[in-house]
Amino acid sequence: MSALAIARPEPLALRRRAREAMRSLAYLLAELALGVLCLIALPTALLGGATALRRLLELERTLANRLLAARIPALRPVMPGEPIDRRNVAFLASRLPLCALAAALCAIPAALVVDDQVNGTRVGDLASAVLSEYQLNAHMAFIRWDK
């Protein structure tokens, strides 16, 4: 690789960013499905002991490592008769609500873009109108405070 190739940045790397965004979306959707599975399987896993709970945790780590390239290390081996860690149970129980919240937050920009395409309004115009109104109010507040 030459020094020129290292010094030249990628223009916008849109393909790489689109690929990463699609992988993140796939992870979010898979986590929603895994959250439903955890909600259903968690009582059974609690009765089955630490080994059954460990399988759910390994599935979540494998999913994150493959889709997000997260490099999360493997869990340590389970010893016979090992008690169930409450933090792991809380983690698995919180998967569905947190993923549903993340999906709802990700749906907001998508809904704005769809509205932009359907109604012909521009999201940037709306944002600049709100921002200019905020700036005007901030200047007026400063002028009133000064007197």
- Residue 54 pLDDT > 70: yes
Mean pLDDT for the stretch of residues 33-50: 87
- Is 70 inside a domain boundary? yes
**Whole-number Å distance between alpha carbons of 129 and 91:** 41
Domain extent at residue 98: 12-120
For residue 44, what pLDDT is reported? Answer: 85
- Is 129 inside a domain boundary? no
- Is 50 inside a domain boundary? yes
- Is 7 inside a domain boundary? no
Gyration radius of the chain over CA positions:
24
**Whole-number Å distance between alpha carbons of 7 and 64:** 32
- Is 116 inside a domain boundary? yes
**Whole-number Å distance between alpha carbons of 56 and 96:** 13
**Whole-number Å distance between alpha carbons of 29 and 63:** 11
For residue 66, what pLDDT is reported? Answer: 92
For residue 144, what pLDDT is reported? Answer: 45
For residue 100, what pLDDT is reported? Answer: 93
- Is 99 inside a domain boundary? yes
- Is 136 inside a domain boundary? no
% of residues, the chain, pLDDT over 90: 21
Question: How much is the pTM?
Answer: 0.65
% of residues, the chain, pLDDT over 70: 73
| Domain count of the fold of the chain | 1
As given in the structure block, the two tokens for residue 131 are: 């921002």
- Is 92 inside a domain boundary? yes
